[in-house]
Every structure is written in structure tokens, then in C-alpha cells.
Structure 1
Amino acid sequence: MTERRYDPSLVDAFLKHHWTFRPVDATFMGDKTHDALLPPCGPETLAEELAGIAALEGQLADTLEPEAPGDRLDRRMMLGELAFQKAAAEGRPRLANPAWYSGEAAFAIISLLLPQSAPVRRGGLIARLNALPTFLQSALDRLNGQAIPESWTARARREAWAMAEFLRSDIRLHDEFADEWTLPATMAAEAFDAFASGLSGFADADPACGEEHLTLVMKTVHGLDFGPRKAVERAQEAFDRMGDELVEMARRIDPAKSWQELIAGLVDRHPVDQQSVIQSYRDHDLVARRDGAMLVTSAEDYGLDYRWMSPCFRKISQSLYFLFYRSPPGLNPGEGSVYWVTPPGDDKSAFLRGNNTATVKTIHSVHHGGVGHHTQNARARAASSRLARIAGTDCALGLAFLGSGTMIEGWACYVEDLLMEAPGFYDPTEILLLKQYERRNAASVLVDVKLHLGDWTIKEAMAFYRDEAGFAAQRVESEVVRNSMLPGSRLMYWIGVEGIKDLRRRWKGDTLGFHDTLLSYGHMPLAWIGEEMQRAGQLK
């Protein structure tokens, strides 16, 4: 068969297909033409989606590899994502997950109320509110008689009840609330209640996706050259080794205390009052940018505004996949991004401890803030690949295109450690905390893989996170449930970091050049970025 030239306009056809079945993703990405729509979920939906996938694969098949790097990466991303969507539709359909419905329904509304969507597109908001009763009833019809992991059903109930309460009350606290929202919001709230009440009587099911599907995710989506069993082997070795390293690091800091005691003591180092907390976010962000300037060029041309979370979202944010920093809509980014800080509740002491200096510095100001996700997202919008500009968009349940995750989460975790190269930025106990973070990410590889190979049950995975990996008890259940719904989504953190370290060892130039070049590729599988660097003669 004669090979054909690749047509860059296939990206438009691919996005049209994607947004047809995932219109809430379109809103998060900044495309406004789908704001009035909810995802289709009728009996014909998966067949129509598979037909669309087949048509796109037919257009991409036997096309010549493009010469331009951006086109080359776009083509690979489309082929990988289509293969993944096809496998999921045939063997692990999202339409069989009640938490997919609750998440899409909730964020169909919330996505239009966030600062990134200001001013509120009122027509789209009301249209989606009016469509929710039909959507949620169709969901119940679709789920009827299926076997579903109980933890997925429990999550869907919690999200639905929380969203019903939001639509009855806190939505009225939104700065742009209008009386015309009241009736459709009330009817939508009733639909959420009915959906939650209807989620009963299902037989429990095993959430494991199996080795074949997980291998496809790792090799076709993430671009890795190894599979699940090798990932477990590597992660287990690292987890064990870092356990020993934590003991030795703690001994050097204070022989009288364990590493667990030293890390626990970090919560007592915090700002003195509420206003000092939000200022600490800003101050640590500025210091990270300044001290890291010789390591990575931070995005100074795109703003990051740390502010208290809007009152209307304070309750609902506790029940949904609600991010304090969410990737800006790549197709309509505006002049800057909002980073929300949750204000204190009744327990002011717990608020201050939760916003201790080490946590604010590592997680908020570095991982997510100026030199982390924020700079990464800003640089991605200038990538030569069109899909690399938006693939890492945070959507209702996770990243728009899973393959972007080794770069997205790999960079944000890597940059935490990178700031150790800035003299004085961290103290020894904060570096100890970073080692614990790294060990927990290796632990997450074990859970991600062993859960989906059927080696561990959800309860066994939760026990490992809690008893051996050191996850906070209140975080364990939601973490494992999310692992169970999204195979291959948690292994990308540690594997991404390890991949960046490997590329840096092979880089021919200086440190700043490496990091800036890496970020210039945008939201793409790290393995493919490495291949492009090799192709450009930049690696040893």
C-alpha cells in the first residue's frame, strides 16, 4: 500500500471527535462551542464513538512520518489516544462507571463558574442545568443491572449529594449569580438526589483492568519501553532503598528522632496567622523563582494570582476532584491563572498546621506554583505540537490525554527536588520530606500496577498506603479509588521523574538549557520527548 502524506488538519478532526463525546473537556480546554452540551450516554454512544475512532485511524494509517517535530508528535498522540479510547470503549467503558457520570455532571456546571471561564457564559450554564435531569436518568438506565466496584458507586453518591447541596445553596454565593439560574439549578439538584438514591442494588465488581490493558497504557499511551512487571520490580527496589535512605538521613539530622518524628514536627513550623498564610504562598513562590533562575526560566509573562477560594466553592471543593490550581484553558488562557487557598474553618490551629512552611513551599509554591505546573503550562502553549498545548488539561476526572502525564507530573515532582540545587532553599528536614514524597511516588507505582494486575484488592492497597507508604489516613481511600478507576495514572509520577533524570544525564548542554528545552515540548509523553531530543542531536 502506498504511504500518504500526513495532513496536519487531522488534529481538527481528532478534536472534533473528542469533544463530541467529551464536551466538558472542551470547556476546560477553552473551546466555547460545546458549553451548552453534556456528554452523550445513550445505548448507541459507544458504537458511534468506535466508528469515529475507526474513521480517524483509517485517515492516519499508512501516513508518512512528518518531518516537522510538532506534526510528528501530534500524529503519535492521536494514534496512541485513539488506541487507548478504543480499548477502553470495548473493555472498560466510562459509561459503566457511576463516578464518571457524577464527575462529568458536576464539572459541566462548575467548569462554567470558575475564574478561567469568567464572565460566566450564561446560555451554556442554563442549557447544561436544564439537560442534567435527562443525562442523570439516562445514566441510571445505562447502569441498571451491571456489576460495579462498590467504591466507585460510593464515590458517585458522595459527589451527587454534594452537588445537589451546592445547587440548592452555595451557587447563590457566586459573584455572577442571577435569579434565572434558580429554577434550573433546583431541578438539577433534584436530579442529582435521584441519581444518588438510584445507585443501589449493584453487584460488586473487581476494578482491575488486567495486564493486557495496563501494558497498552504503559507502552502505547505513555510510550514506555517496559511493562507492568518491570515497573513493579524497579519501584519495589526504589521503595526499599529509600526506606533505608530515610533512616540514614534522619540519623544525620537528629540521632534521637526517627524520620517519621522529624517529618511530623514540620507541621509546627508555620505562619503566625491567617493573613500570613496566604502571603507565605506568594513569598515562597517568589523565592523559588528567584533561587531557581539559573536552573529553569520561570513564566514571568503569565500571571499567577494567589487568592482565598471563593465562598461558593468552599464546601463543594471538599467532595469533588476540585483542584486549588487547575491548568488554564490552553485555547483561551487569558492574562493569568488563579491559585486558590482554602481559608480556615473553626479550627484555626489545624489550619495553620496544614499550611506549614514545608508543605506550602514544596507542594504549593514549587510543585504547582511558579516553577512547577504554572511555568510548565505557560510554556506548553507555545509548543510546536498543537495537542501538546492542551493534552495536559485538568478535566473532570483527570488529564485530558493520559499520555501527557509522565511529563506533567514528572516535571512537577522533579522540580521539587531540583530546588535542592538552589543553595539554602530547603533545610535538611525539608529535604527529608522530599525523600518521603519520592518514596510515596514509588509506592504509588506498586499500588497502580498490583491493583490492576489483581495482585492486591482495594483494601490491601489501602492498607499498604496507610501502613507502609506513609500516606495520610484521610487521603488513602480517595487515592486508591482514583487509582482503581484510572489505570496507569499514578505510576506516571515516579516514572516521569526517573525519565527526566535519565534525559538530564544524557543532555549535552547546560542545566538551564535542558530544562527550558524540555518544557518547550509541552504536554507529551516524556519518552517521545526524549526521542525528539535524540533526533535533534541533543543527547549523548
Structure 2
Amino acid sequence: MSQPEGWVEQYLALHAQFRPVDASFMGLPGHDDQLPPVGEEALEHERQALANLLQQVEGNLQHPETAGERLDGWLLRSQLRVTLREAQERPRQHNPAFYTGEAAFAVISLLLPNERPTNTDAVLARLKAMPEFLATGTKTLEALNLPADWVERAQKEAEALEALLLRGLSKHPDYQAEWQEPAAQAAAAIQTFASALKPGDADPACGRDYLEFLMREAHALPYSAAEAEQRAQAAFETLGSELAEMARQLDPAKSWQEQLADLEQQHPDLDAVQTTYQDWNKRALDAAGGLVTPAREYGLAFEFLPEWAREAAGALYFLFYRSPPAEHPGDGSIYWIFSPGDDKAAYLRGQNIPFIKAVHAVHHGSIGHHTQNARARQAKSRLAQLGGTDCASGIAFLSAGTLVEGWACYTEDLLLEAPGFYTPQEELLLKQFEFRNAACCLADIRLHSGQWTLEQMRAFYRDEVGFAPGRVWAETTRNSIYPATRLMYWLGTQVIKELRTELDLAPQVFHDQLLSYGCAPVTLIADEMRRLNHQGNP
């Protein structure tokens, strides 16, 4: 093993040590029985370990010869710098939702189906460790002025975790009777933790300096927050005008909002929801011929959310499609379809065919995240294989975001190049998605640079962007916790579009090349593709 490779593995060992739930999702061995170490001593240990490794790495990664080595070197420095600054200035341990999310997914990560049998001993160990983990969290948080919305989010997640522990676990097919008492004790601990939280009035914004640090050091974006804001504002205005004009041409008597609401009536019968997902996923794979090589070799099974997870899933980061563990992905993964509740009519409106096509079949399934994840596992960069892994509260490495979400949003429009895949009314929906992503980029920057309060951001989403009222609070609270995450969707998509125009390759060649580099900042992948196609240097 070369010295750079050794540093990469050393970093992954540190990541797994301090974030063992991430390790479970990635498939990194040896940590499935652990919860994250917490408390001031653990945080200081993490800071020192990261600083020591960064000191070794800085200035010593010389003359990488291949794309994989170049990406690994950049990602290694990026992860060390970003994680260290987070630990110093904005520690995850100072966020109450960190404790609820990690506790919930410490268990869920071991219960999700994959090629390996459930590690029942690890589930038991994590259940037993939960009370101390949460008690330390209470002690850490008690003296802090916490943003009120972060507290509310943590309390919602605590309620969901309690439901999982007391009612969900026993419905899992691998349930063990010996889990019952530790689960009950963990449920009592999560109740105590949630009750002890005190909402404060802290500003959740990270500040312009920190935001630009993330844009530069995590996303490798070549422009300032002000320039990104200008670009997003211009796009927001242009896309808004295009949206209104498209709607006028389709039906001058109805606004775009009314026409999109009409699409909700185009839904399958209740007993045909599952087959509708399967059918449109297959059609998307077929429609992509000549545009990209889909991951047909890696299966995607559409199943209703299992009973053990149903009560808890709504308040947690429980995804429809979750990237499988890169270290042992098996030969396929599950795509969850959320089950109907009491209001069947509302459920079916949410399961409308245009939304299933664009979001479930394309963005998350078929050629979107599903193909992107399959290709990432074959990347030459070790860190780019792992960075896009879905973990307890988001992807493992923020640096993966412009590729992961940029690609998935880009693919929605890519199938406009497949004649007949979308109807004209569905094209209106795609335009609204792009309009919304530009708006969210704008809001991310304005919130975290201090131009907007959280309430101003929410008013923007409600009054100008058209988010469903029930989604506004969750969307904005999440964005307040994780700066520079919502901007990566629109900015990542723009880089891909601009690069495609610049290189002018055959569509399938361009898209297959793009995905071959794995989950790294899309601007760096663009540099590698320029090097390959202009200089012939892989």
C-alpha cells in the first residue's frame, strides 16, 4: 500500500471510529456494535486525531498520476479540513437531532435488508449503549442555547424512535426476545432526553465565511456565495417566467399551480401502486437507451415499507431508496413504497403517475441514484466509492453532493431527450422542479449568509416557490442544520449541463464517463473529463 493509500485507509478508520453508524451504512467492518463516542473528551480526541492526520497529509500528497489518485488526494484533504472545522466551530454533538438520528439509525442500519444476515448481537449491543449515549447528550446540550426548530425536530425524531423501540422492533422478522428489555430501557432514555431539551433562540445560520468555506473546500465550487446567489436569482426569475409561459400555452385558463394540482388526479388504483412503480422504472431504463448505460446488472425491487418501520419512518430520514453498502452491496437493493394511511384519497394524490415517473422511477431509481451508486462502486478513487452513501442524516461526505444530487436532478430532464417518455403536462412539472431547485439554492445562501431569517426563508418557500405547506417546516429546518446542502442540487446540475455543451461528446459516452469517477465534486470530475478528452490523460 502506498503512503497516500495508507492515509486514505487511516482516514476511513477514523471516520468509522467516530461515526460508527456511517460505517454500518458503508459496509465498513468492525463497528456495528458501537454508537458514536460523545462528550467533550470524545470531541477533543476527534479534533486532535483529525488535526494530526491533516498535518501529515498537507503538502505531502505529491504528483498524483491518475484520476483516482488525484480525486482521492483532494477528497482526503477536503474531508479532513471540513470535518475538523465542523468539530471546532459547529460540532454535530451540539445539535439535539444528532443524538436522535444516530440512535434511531444505529438500529435501523442493522435491520435493513442486504446480502448479509441481521447481526442480532450488534443490535443488542447498540440498544444497551443507547441510554448512556443519550444521557451524555443531555449533559452536553443542557448549557447550550439551541435553535428552537432543532429542538422540535429532535423531539419529533425521539417520538418516532420510541415507536420503533416499543412497537416496531417486535415486528421485524429477525426480532430476538433478548432485545425487549434493552429496547424498553432505550425508549425510556429517549423520552428523558427529549423532555430535557430546552428550546432557545440561537440563530441557526452558519455565517457567510463558513458557507463559503464549505462551497470551496467541500464542493470545490469556483465562485463566491455572492456569485452563486446572483446566478440562482437570475435562474429563478427566468425559470419562473418560463413556467408561467408553458402553463399559458397548455391552458391559458389555469395557472401553473392549478395545472400541477390537476396532475395529482392522474394516479393508479390502490392495488396498482406497486406495479406502477415497477413499470415506470422499467420504461425509464428502456427510454435511456443511447443516452446512458443503466445499471441493469444490479436489481431494484419495489416493495411496500415493512410493518416494523411504518410508524417510525415519517419523522426520520427514512428514504425511499438508500444507497447500498459499497463494501458488500449484494446483487440488488430495495426501493420502499410508503404505505397508505387512513386518508386513501390523499395517499393516491401523492402517488400520482407524473410524480412516480420523474421522482421515483428516474431521480431515485433507474438511471438516477440507482445507476449512479452502482457506477460509483467501480470508481478508481476509494473515497469516491463511499462518499455518496446515505447515512443517518445525509450522505457520508458533503463533497459527494454536487455529483449525487446534481446527477439525479439532471436525469429528470435527460429523459426529455427520449421521445414520448413525458407528456407536455409532465414537462411543466419538470420545469417546476428546476425552478424550485434554483429557489432552494438561493434560500440556502441567503439563510446561512445572514440575509434571511428562518421565517423569511419559510415565507419564500410558501409564497413564491410553491412548496406544499406540510413540507416547508421540515425542509427549512433541515437546511438550517446542514448548510451548503440545498445549493448542491441546482449548482451540480448546472455544472453537468455546461460541461456537456463544452465537451460535445456523444450522449452515452459523456454520461458514462461522468458516472465512472464516483461520488466527488462534479467540478473536479469535469476537470478530469477535460484532461481525458483534450489531453488523453486518464
Partner residue, 1:127: 125
Moved over 4 A (4+): none
In the alignment, is residue 466 of structure 1 matched against residue 462 of structure 2?
yes
In the alignment, is residue 390 of structure 1 matched against residue 389 of structure 2?
no
In the alignment, is residue 440 of structure 1 matched against residue 436 of structure 2?
yes
Q: Give the match's secondary structure for 2:324.
A: coil
In the alignment, is residue 374 of structure 1 matched against residue 370 of structure 2?
yes
Partner residue, 1:142: 140
Equivalent in 305, 316, 341 of residue 301 of structure 2: 305
- 8 Å CA contact 1:508–1:539 kept in 2: the answer is no
In the alignment, is residue 168 of structure 1 matched against residue 166 of structure 2?
yes
**1:30-41 → structure 2 map (5 Å cutoff):** 30-41=27-38
Partner residue, 1:258: 255
Q: How far apart are the structure 2 equivalents of 1:362 and 1:537?
A: 31
Q: How far apart are the structure 2 equivalents of 1:247 and 1:274?
A: 33
Q: How far apart are the structure 1 equivalents of 2:57 and 2:36?
A: 25
Equivalent in 73, 76, 95 of residue 74 of structure 2: 76
Superposed CA deviations along residues 3-28 of structure 1, whole A, max 9, x for unmatched, are xx852121110100111110000000
Q: Give the match's secondary structure for 2:322.
A: coil
- 8 Å CA contact 2:118–2:174 kept in 1: the answer is yes
In the alignment, is residue 524 of structure 1 matched against residue 520 of structure 2?
yes
Equivalent in 477, 502, 513 of residue 481 of structure 1: 477
Q: How far apart are the structure 2 equivalents of 1:473 and 1:133?
A: 35
**1:147-296 → structure 2 map (5 Å cutoff):** 147-200=145-198, 202-271=199-268, 273-296=269-292
Relative to structure 1, is the Cα distance of residues 254 and 539 closer, same or farther in structure 2, using a 3 angstrom cutoff?
farther
In the alignment, is residue 325 of structure 1 matched against residue 329 of structure 2?
no
Q: Give the match's secondary structure for 1:112.
A: helix
Q: How far apart are the structure 1 equivalents of 2:251 and 2:433?
A: 20
RMSD between aligned residues = 1.3
The residue identity in structure 2 corresponding to 1:172 is S
Q: How far apart are the structure 2 equivalents of 1:7 and 1:525?
A: 19
The residue identity in structure 2 corresponding to 1:152 is W
How many Å apart are 1:449 and its aligned residue?
0.7
- 8 Å CA contact 1:506–1:539 kept in 2: the answer is no
Relative to structure 1, is the Cα distance of residues 107 and 122 closer, same or farther in structure 2, using a 3 angstrom cutoff?
same
Q: Give the match's secondary structure for 2:333.
A: strand
How many Å apart are 1:137 and its aligned residue?
0.2
Superposed CA deviations along residues 292-315 of structure 1, whole A, max 9, x for unmatched, are 111011001111000111011111
Q: Give the match's secondary structure for 1:346.
A: coil
In the alignment, is residue 514 of structure 1 matched against residue 538 of structure 2?
no
Q: Give the match's secondary structure for 1:338.
A: strand
Which piece of structure 1 moves more, 351-360 or 113-122? 113-122
Q: Give the match's secondary structure for 2:302.
A: strand
Q: How far apart are the structure 2 equivalents of 1:509 and 1:417?
A: 18
Q: How far apart are the structure 2 equivalents of 1:41 and 1:514?
A: 45
Q: TM-score normalised to the size of structure 2?
A: 0.97
How many Å apart are 1:117 and its aligned residue?
6.9
Equivalent in 61, 64, 67 of residue 65 of structure 2: 67
The residue identity in structure 2 corresponding to 1:352 is L
Relative to structure 1, is the Cα distance of residues 254 and 496 closer, same or farther in structure 2, using a 3 angstrom cutoff?
same
The residue identity in structure 1 corresponding to 2:147 is P
The residue identity in structure 1 corresponding to 2:394 is G
Superposed CA deviations along residues 366-388 of structure 1, whole A, max 9, x for unmatched, are 00001110000001000000111
Q: How far apart are the structure 2 equivalents of 1:472 and 1:332?
A: 38
Gaps of 5+ in 2: none
Q: How far apart are the structure 2 equivalents of 1:77 and 1:65?
A: 15
Q: Give the match's secondary structure for 1:536.
A: helix
The residue identity in structure 2 corresponding to 1:185 is A
- 8 Å CA contact 1:297–1:516 kept in 2: the answer is yes
The residue identity in structure 2 corresponding to 1:348 is K
Q: Percent identity at matched positions? A: 49
How many Å apart are 1:241 and its aligned residue?
0.8
Q: Give the match's secondary structure for 2:69.
A: helix
Partner residue, 1:351: 347
How many Å apart are 1:228 and its aligned residue?
0.9
Relative to structure 1, is the Cα distance of residues 290 and 309 closer, same or farther in structure 2, using a 3 angstrom cutoff?
same
Q: TM-score normalised to the size of structure 1?
A: 0.97
- 8 Å CA contact 2:16–2:28 kept in 1: the answer is no
Equivalent in 36, 49, 53 of residue 50 of structure 2: 53
How many Å apart are 1:274 and its aligned residue?
2.0
How many Å apart are 1:127 and its aligned residue?
0.4
The residue identity in structure 1 corresponding to 2:422 is Y
Superposed CA deviations along residues 60-96 of structure 1, whole A, max 9, x for unmatched, are 1222031121111011001011111111111111111
Q: How far apart are the structure 2 equivalents of 1:149 and 1:231?
A: 27
